[in-house]
Amino acid sequence: MSKNYGLYINGKWIKSTSNKTFETKNPATGETLASFPLGTKEDTIKAIDAAEKAFPIWKRTPAPKRGDIILKAASIMKERKNELGEIVSKEMGKIITEGKGDVQESIDFLEYIAGEGRRLLGETTTSELQNKFCMTVRQPIGVVGCITPWNFPTAIPCWKLGAALVSGNTIVFKPATLTPLCAAKLIEIFEEAGLPAGVLNFVTGSGSIVGNEIVENPRVKAISFTGGVDAGIDVYTRAAKLLKSVELELGGKNPQIIMDDANIDLAIEGVIFGAFGSQGQRCTATSRLIVHEKVYAEVMKKLIERTKSLKIGDPLNSKNNMGPVSCEQQVKTVLKYVDIGKKEGAKLIFGGRQLTDGEYGKGFFVEPTIFEAKHGMRITKEEIFGPLLSVIKVKNYDEAIQIANDVEYGLSSSIYTKDVNVAFKAIDDFETGITYINAPTIGAEVHIPFGGVKNTGNGGREAGTTAIDEFTEIKTVCIDYSNKLQKAQIGE
């Protein structure tokens, strides 16, 4: 029997003023997993009230103590990794190894960011005046809004929540409506870890109601948003009217280049994982494979063989390599782009169908799909967010890089080559925030910055040493112990 959840506001699970609910379902079976309230503007304001009230005390809590609570949450997650991983797989559809990987990434980041409680580093510098000391300190921003997507339903929330909390902020958190159960489990864990009431508040519901109030309420001082480009631009422009700090992590159209000297077998394993892992539903997924003409035939032969060997089915079955896409709309999107590719003259090499027979009948299963395409076709330029790979033949490195960069996104990139000179040139030439050499476009590690350029974001980075940048203000402090008025930049 599925559980009925409430909103989590000021340390309590409460009903919504709407008295309306929605269900979260298993995309493999259609099974109802839980029900959640459709939050209202009034509910969101209550959450903001609670966060605002809790902020002064949480801000004054020593940062190492804040880190201790986050570390405790990581410890609880570690104990429940298998259970949580199954929930990720059931609610989002990624296979069980990736579901557990989602949780492991959450654990890793919370452990990492907990240590920031003993850093939160500023800097010291010399003054141009005698007997004067200059330094910077980090301070929390206040109430922050965290709006997260469904494709990494524990990891991305933990990236945001962990960094915001250790920095001393209080939070209003709106998860994706496709994966609220994973988010609710995180709330329960933070509560169990000892997070004070009001510090973390959880409101489920639509972006047009709950999300809009978070973005437009002047008491929410900063927004951290991961999602689609159109939604991100909307969030950014509306928040800008209030001069809010906004951090965006948006889409990708990520290229993997295979040069003529590459380890072909390794490169094939990389693109299979990059393109079809999580059913292609990663912002870092490999959606374009750019192949040197000298190895093109070999690459295609091996790529098709490996793709045909992939097993699709119940994501909890460890023998399967792919589960369902997340929902019916994702099926429609992928099939729409299959039709677009055919109409534009791309050659469908494999896949392109929804699976509906037998065990697939109750879920949203789509075959891994490969097109031979020419650069400029829509399937090579637009984010699809599904298991659809476009393969493009090129004559040389320069053409490969030109094609790789000729999209509106700039998140992740990859090149397979044994030539160290080419590798280092690619690091400089790729117009992306992340570059991999002889590794797939996916595989972010929590202790290194994550983010992109162009329409992928607006300049910030999550995770790593930069994780707290979006959740802290820099205060410059000058201490004059000369016992006289000193005037900087003013001559004698």
Query: What CATH number is associated with residue 73?
Result: 3.40.605.10
Please check whether residues 233 and 258 belong to one and the same domain.
no
Residue 240 pLDDT more than 80?
Answer: yes
* Pair (258, 145) in one structural domain: no
In a shared domain, residues 235 and 119: yes
pLDDT reported for residue 80: 98
Q: Hey, CA dihedral for 366, 408, 451, 168, is it positive or negative?
A: negative
Residue 249 known to be catalytic = yes
Residue type, 343: K
pLDDT at residue 1 greater than cutoff 70: no
Output the six-digit token pair for 476.
Answer: 């410059």
Q: What integer best gives the mean pLDDT of the chain?
A: 97
**HSE-CB of 271 using CA atoms within 13 angstroms:** 31
Q: Residue 89's pLDDT is what? A: 98
CATH of the domain at 273: 3.40.309.10
17, part of any domain? yes
Predicted confidence band at 488 (pLDDT cuts at 50, 70, 90)?
Answer: confident
Does the residue 447 lie in any domain? Answer: no
Residue 2, pLDDT score:
77
Question: How many whole angstroms separate alpha carbon 216 and alpha carbon 244?
Answer: 9
pLDDT in tens, 458-484: 989 999 999 999 999 999 999 999 999
**Residue 95 falls inside a structural domain:** yes
Q: Are 423 and 471 in the same domain?
A: no
Q: Which residue shows structure tokens 């469904």?
A: 150
Looking at 146, 158, 182, 283, which residue is catalytic? Answer: 283
**Same domain membership, residue 261 and residue 147:** no
For the chain, the C-alpha Rg in angstroms (whole number) is 24
Cβ atoms within 10 Å, residue 420: 9
Q: How many domains does the chain have?
A: 2
Q: Which of 52, 91, 249, 367 is catalytic?
A: 249
Partners of 409 in the beta sheet? 454
Whether this model's pTM surpasses 0.85 = yes
Count Cα atoms within 13 angstroms, Cβ side, for 366. 32
Per-residue pLDDT band for 489 (boundaries 50, 70, 90) equals confident
How many whole angstroms separate alpha carbon 165 and alpha carbon 11? 15
Q: Say if residue 61 is in the same domain as residue 110.
A: yes
Distance of CA 51 to the CA centre of its chain: 24
Residues 126 and 213 in one domain: yes
Q: For residue 492, what pLDDT is reported?
A: 56
The parent domain of residue 217 ranges over 3-250+457-476
Is pLDDT above 80 for 18?
Answer: yes
Span 83-106, pLDDT tens digits: 999 999 999 999 999 999 999 999
